[in-house]
Amino acid sequence: MKRVESAAPSLELKPDSLSPTQKETPSIFKKKKDQRSKEVKEKVLKNEAFTEVELQEAWKNFIELRKKKVISEMEQLILTRQITKKDMNALIVLNSSLEIAILDRIEVELVNFLRETLSNDQLIVHKEVKEDPKKDKLYTSKDKYDFMVKEQPLLQKLKDKLGLDFEY
C-alpha cells in the first residue's frame, strides 16, 4: 500500500503574527505598549540648593498652613521650635523625646512641604533632643524659695522683716 500525503500545508500560528480577524485574549498582566513607554520615563529629582533664609520662610509658611487646620496644643508646641539648616538638610532641636513623638505625627507632611517649597527632593529633617541643663527641677518649697532668692535678693530681706519661715 502506498502512503498518501496531504497536499495542504501545515498552519502554524505564532502569537505575534495574528491575522486581523483573530484577537488576542486581553491579559491583566500584560501592559500595552503605550503604557510601557510612559513608565520608562523616570522622574527627575530636584536638588536645588537653598539658604537658611529660604528654609526659615518655608518653616513659617508651614506653620501658617498648620494653623489653618485644627491643630492640637502639643503640635503648637512643636511649631514654636526653631529649624536650622545643616548641610543640605533641616535640623529641629527639641527639648524631650515626647516632642519627637509629636513631631513624628506631622513629619511626612512637613518633609513633603519643605521638599516642594525648596525644590529639593533629597531634603531630610533631622531631629535632635537637647534638654536644658540649666533648668533645675524645683520640687519643694525650699527649692522654690532659694531659686527666687537667687533671682531677687531683696526677697530675703522681706522674709526677715516679716518673720516668715518656709522651713518646717
Residue spans of the domains in the chain: they are 52-129, 136-168
Average predicted confidence (pLDDT) for the chain: 77
Q: Using the 8-state DSSP alphabet, how is residue 15 labeled?
A: T
What percent of the chain clears pLDDT 70, i.e. is strictly above it?
69
**pLDDT tens digits along 24-73:** 666 666 655 555 555 545 567 777 888 888 889 998 999 888 888 877 88
Distance between CA 63 and CA 5 in Å, rounded? Answer: 87
Question: How far lies 55's CA from each of 51, 81, 130, in Å?
Answer: 6, 14, 21
